[in-house]
Amino acid sequence: MTAPDLKTPTDLRSNATKSVAQALNGVLADSYALYFKTKNFHWHVSGPHFRDYHLMFDEQAAQILAVTDAIAERVRKTGNTTLRSIGDIGRHQSIKDNDAEYVSPADMLNELREDNLRLVESLRAAKSAATEAGDNATEGIVDDWTDQAEERAWFLFEAGRNG
């Protein structure tokens, strides 16, 4: 049986949407990597601020997971295909995994803050690709995702302050 064509009709040029899709697939891979790392730290945090960090990590993970479907669907709306597997995520992610047996709470906060800022960089690159492609729908929603990632980085920074 021949596989159906998965290209979704769009008025955007295919070479333009390809660059948007590549950028968004990178954002999607990083979002899944950041989601799983945040859940990992949620499960393994310990110490005097356990409850606060445990709850914050869980809230942040839920927020990250909530945007993944919208990212993938935006890729499909541009007439392209998105990630298909854990291996595909691994090939596209720029956020590094952390498989350490123990990570101190302070290191968790710092690492997640840096990873959220890395995601902001990827989101800005996706917005730039969308602007160049004339894809104003992607431009608009990327702004919301960028604001969310910046807020997470801010909360992580403030939670890790000494004083």
For 57-87, the DSSP string reads HHHHHHHHHHHHHHHHHHHHHTT-----SHH
8 located within any domain: no
The parent domain of residue 111 ranges over 14-159
CATH of residue 113's domain is 1.20.1260.10
pLDDT at residue number 147: 98
pLDDT at residue number 145: 98
pLDDT at residue number 127: 97
36 located within any domain: yes
37 located within any domain: yes
123 located within any domain: yes
All residue ranges of the chain with pLDDT < 70 are 1-16, 163
**Total number of domains constituting the chain:** 1
Q: Could you read off the pLDDT of 46-65 as tens digits, one per residue?
A: 999 999 999 999 999 999 99
At 37, the amino acid letter reads K
6 located within any domain: no
pLDDT at residue number 162: 80
Q: CA-based angle 85:88:89, to the nearest 5?
A: 90
Contacts of 111 (CB under 8 A, 6+ apart): 37, 41, 98, 103
Q: What is the pTM of this model?
A: 0.91
pLDDT at residue number 13: 56
152 located within any domain: yes
pLDDT at residue number 138: 95
Distances (CA, A) of 79 to 14, 33, 70, 105: 8, 25, 15, 42
